[in-house]
């Protein structure tokens, strides 16, 4: 991708993030984004069809980062994507709080849920655990992220959240009974 294209897309996404944190996703328009990014309307539409598409662009960036981690043999079988996901949430705390705390709209919640489900499904691939296990663990992780970002800042560490999730995931698959 051309450097100028990447730079413009980054500027538009940065403007979107800042506005979402400030006002909430549902309260911003394409006009607000182009004013904040200091680009023209034509430039915006040359890159994205809508603010929803711009939002999805950001989620696809996160998805790509997490998939790269899953492709690393060192992270296989140990839920290696959890810390990077939580670190991303910590670095973009205001954005996550706005998007997952009710002001992000349904599209943001669904996009995040889909990414987490894909990561969990890849982690469980070949274990014999199906769609229900994926849904349960992904739901638990999304709930943990939501609870974590709503907790007082610094009250729970990334390591604590990751450790607790691994404990839950391990208990989920422990065989009980005959």
Residue 38 lies in a domain: yes
- Token pair listed for 126: 């070949």
CA distance to 126, 138, 172, per residue, from 149 (Å): 32, 17, 24
Nearest in space to 14 (alpha carbons), one of 68, 70, 49, 61: 61
Domain count, the chain: 1
Residue 51 lies in a domain: yes
Buried residues in 71-104 as b, exposed as e (16+ CB within 10 A):
eeeebeeebbbbbbbbebbbebeebbbbbbeebb
Residue 150 lies in a domain: yes
Residue 27 lies in a domain: yes
Task: Check which CATH number belongs to the domain holding 84 and give it.
Answer: 1.10.357.10
pTM of the model: 0.76
Residue 178 lies in a domain: no
Burial of 56 (0-12, 13-18, 19+ CB in 10 A): middle
Residue 116 lies in a domain: yes
Q: What residue numbers bound the domain in which 93 lies?
A: 3-172
10-residue averages of pLDDT along the chain (178 residues)? 90 92 88 96 96 90 77 67 85 79 70 89 82 90 88 84 88 52
- Range list of H helices, 71-157: 82-91, 93-98, 105-124, 131-150
């Amino acid at each position: 991708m051309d450097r100028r294209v990447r730079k413009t897309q980054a500027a538009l996404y940065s403007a979107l993030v800042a506005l979402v944190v400030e006002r909430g996703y549902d309260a911003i328009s394409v006009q607000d984004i182009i004013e904040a990014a200091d680009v023209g309307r034509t430039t915006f539409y040359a890159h994205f069809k809508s603010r929803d598409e711009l939002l999805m662009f950001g989620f696809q960036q996160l998805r790509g980062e997490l998939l790269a981690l899953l492709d690393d043999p060192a992270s296989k079988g140990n839920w290696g994507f959890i810390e990077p996901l939580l670190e991303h949430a910590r670095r973009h705390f205001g954005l996550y709080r706005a998007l997952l705390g009710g002001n992000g709209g349904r599209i943001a919640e669904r996009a995040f849920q889909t990414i987490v489900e894909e990561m969990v499904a890849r982690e469980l691939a070949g274990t014999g655990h199906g769609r229900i296990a994926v849904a349960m663990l992904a739901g638990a992780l999304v709930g943990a992220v939501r609870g974590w970002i709503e907790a007082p800042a610094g009250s729970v560490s990334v390591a604590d959240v990751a450790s607790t999730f691994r404990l839950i995931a391990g208990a989920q698959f422990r065989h009980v009974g005959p």
